[in-house]
Structures are given as structure tokens and as C-alpha cells.
Structure 1
Amino acid sequence: MLPPRILLVDDHALFRNGLRMVLTAGIADLEVAEAASLEEALRTSMQEPALVLLDIQLHGLNGLEGIALVRRKWPQALVVILSSEVSPHKVRLAMERGASAFVSKAEPADRILAVIGQLRQGLTVAADGMQAGEGGADSQPLLTPRQSEVLDLMCQGLSNKLIGRRLNLSENTVRGHVQAVLAALQVSSRSEAGFAARQRGLVA
């Protein structure tokens, strides 16, 4: 798992402060550095951030332009784009340029924490904008084939332990997939996931 070291880049101090409190409350032993611009971020004293939260609408060089610069300076760092405006076009551009995730600032704090948790476990994250751009609330979440298998077994009432046995996965790995499924479906419990999956036709 990635070390808990995050660089937060946003030109709104109130948003930075609020997100910092959310992150430090939700992630144990987290080290957070802040920057108000991309230029300031690239001069940070933080050693090798594991993850960079990058506002898309920065003054000067914006987040989309900055992805390549961040990846060049810290090749191992994962980049999460934050945006108050989400569109399929922006999401595609961000992902094509090397972002690992794209999250709307309108999402609840738990969503950002869930995305970070998934990335730290090496899981694929569903992009908010791609869901929104493909039909809004009725669009299908972006699940990996393995996550779809886990969802199907969840809906059959299997525990993480039994899912692990069925798919030959460790219980911790299954737990990570379950969290990814909950985040993709934008629900907070297994029962809600089952209801949402059946409502959307994701399971029989």
C-alpha cells in the first residue's frame, strides 16, 4: 500500500483547509502538504508524494496542463483531478494525460476518501464524469470484470470470506473490491449495492 503522503493543490484556501481536515481525520498517520498553484506545488519540500490532488481550474497553469509536469517530477505519484465542473470531455483529457481519477468537488467527503483508498490498494476507480456524461443517474458505473464478479456474489449474500474462496482471492483483496463497488455505485452498504445493482440491471 502507498505511504500516506498527499500533496493538495488548490487555489482556494478554504477548500484546501476543509479537505485537509477530511483527509487527516480519515487516513491514519497522513502527511499533507498544500500549495495554491502548480508552480508552488512543484517547489514543495515534501519528499515524493504518493498522491497529488490537483484542482483542474488553477490560476496560471491549470490542472490538465499540470498533470504531465507532476508525473515528470514524481513518476510514482498518482494524480487525482478535482473539479467543480465535470464533463466527459474533461474526464477523457485528464485520463489520457495520466490522471488516475477524476472527482467532482460536489461529491461528499466519503467519496474522495473512498477514491484515495482504492488507489492506495491499486484498484481502478470509476470516473465521476464518465458516469455523468453517459446518461446521469441512469448511466452504468464503470466496474472492472473482477468487481462485477464480486458484485454478483455480494448480491447472492456471500460474505467476503466466501467470495474470496469462490474467486481464489484473499479476504483483504475482496474487501478492497467491495469498497470499490460501493464507491462506483455511490452507496454505503451491501444491501444498498444489491438494490442499486438490480435496479440498473447489473445483476439478474
Structure 2
Amino acid sequence: MKTTPILLIDDHALFRSGIAMVLQASLECVEIFQAGSLEQALRLADIEPCLVLLDVQLQGVSGLEGIESLRRKWPVAKVVMVSAFDLSEVVSEAVERGALAFISKTERPERMLQQIRELLADDGAPAPRSVAISPRPRLTPRQCEVLDLLCQGLSNKMIGRRLNLSEHTVRGHVQAMLAALQVSSRSEAVFAARRLGLIR
């Protein structure tokens, strides 16, 4: 049976080996390759990864700076950003540079695995940046306002002040919006919103 090659690029060896063990134990027919830096990854020969899990903050060339190099070396590989930081500007830049998805290191392992399974199950080539990867969700005008401010990096409290809403009400809008976008974190929401063209 054909194996699916996955490349992990992360300069934290402990995190890298932990993720490799989880993927190896939970996914069928995968072959895991590891690199501690972008330079090391680009020197790998004789592999054609289907999926690249790329840490945002690498020593040397950062993950964000390396997306285009990875896409040139492996054009059909799906590049997925992995980060402990939930920053909308990081997510936006990753989308601009051609990353296909964003996974937070703070996610529960089962949620991370679900995202990876979905990416592997979609056997098409990476979508062009301008193409939506799923149907546009229906958001209320208020949810669109909240989403726009969330994408600017504002907290629920700051969004509430800007829109003259209670923090509790904003939290409700954020939860409804996450459900509509089928994501579980603010950074994933920003990523999805940029991909779907919901915000500029």
C-alpha cells in the first residue's frame, strides 16, 4: 500500500518528535520526515511530501519567509502553518504567501489530527490563493463587523467598545462566527476569512 509522506519542519525537537509519534500512531500509511530548519528541509532529496507542517518561528529563515521556497521545491505539497501564536497578522501573511491552512500548537491533539486528516483526504492540488476552498458561510452583518475587527487583532473587550456591545454579546457573536466558518480558534477564523474573501 502506498504511503503518504508528511514533512515536519520545527526547530523544537521535542515538539517535532511528539507530533511525529502522534501522526504515526493515528494515521494509516504515513511516512514522517523531519527537519529542524528550513535550510535542512530544502536539502532533503528523494522525497515528495503531500503535506508540509511548517512552524512559523524557525531559527534562521522563518517559516513565513520559507513558504515560497517550499512551494517551488514541492509544488503539489500542501503547506500548513503551525504556531503557538494566535496573531491575525501572522495568519494573514501566511495566506498571502501561499499557505493552505493554519494549525495552532495549543489545539487538542484530536482536533489537530482531524484537520490533518481533512487536508490529506482532499487529494486536489493546493488551491490558488484567490480561490475559495469552501462555500462562503452566511454571516449576519454584525458577525461580519465582529470578524473584521477580530482580523485586526482586537480582543473581545476592544471589539465591544468599538461596536458599543457588551463583552458577553461579542463572545456570543464570535462563537456563532466560529461555528459558521467551521473553525475552533480565532486564528483559524482569520485564516478562513482571508481565504474565503470575507475580508480584505
> What TM-score do you get using the length of structure 2 for normalisation?
0.64
Counterpart CA distance in 2 for 1:46 and 1:83 is: 27
Distance change >3 Å, CA 108–CA 46, structure 1 → 2: farther
Structure 1 Cα separation of the partners of residues 18 and 79 of structure 2: 19
Q: What's the counterpart of residue 196 of structure 1?
A: none
Identity of aligned residues (%): 43
Corresponding residue for residue 59 of structure 2: 59
In the alignment, is the contact (CA less than 8 A) between 1:33 and 1:46 conserved in 2?
no
2:81 corresponding residue in structure 1 = 81
Match of 1:176 in 2: none
Deviation string for 1:82-122 (max 9, x for gaps)?
A: 11111111111101111111111111111221111111222
Specify the alignment match of 1:119 in structure 2.
119
- State the partner residue of 1:11: 11
Residue 5 of structure 1 aligns to a residue whose secondary structure is strand
Which string of whole-angstrom CA distances, capped at 9 and with x for unpartnered residues, describes residues 4-31 of structure 1?
Answer: 2100000011001100011011111110
Separation in 1, partners of 2:43, 2:93: 25
Q: How well do the aligned residues superpose, as a CA RMSD in angstroms?
A: 2.7
Cα distance change of structure 1 residues 115 and 65 upon mapping to structure 2, 3 Å threshold: same
Aligned twin of 2:32: 32
Gaps of 5+ in 2: 124-132, 135-146, 157-170, 186-200
Residue 101 and residue 142 in structure 1: after superposition, are their counterparts in 2 closer, same or farther (change >3 A)?
A: farther
**Alignment partner, residue 141 of structure 1:** 178
Question: Does the aligned pair in 1 maintain the 2:67–2:99 contact within 8 Å?
Answer: yes
Scaled by the length of structure 1, the TM-score of the pair is: 0.63
Secondary structure, counterpart of 2:178 in structure 1:
coil
Specify which structure has the bigger relative contact order, considering alpha-carbon pairs within 8 angstroms and separated by 6 or more residues.
2
For 2:161, the equivalent position in structure 1 comes to: none
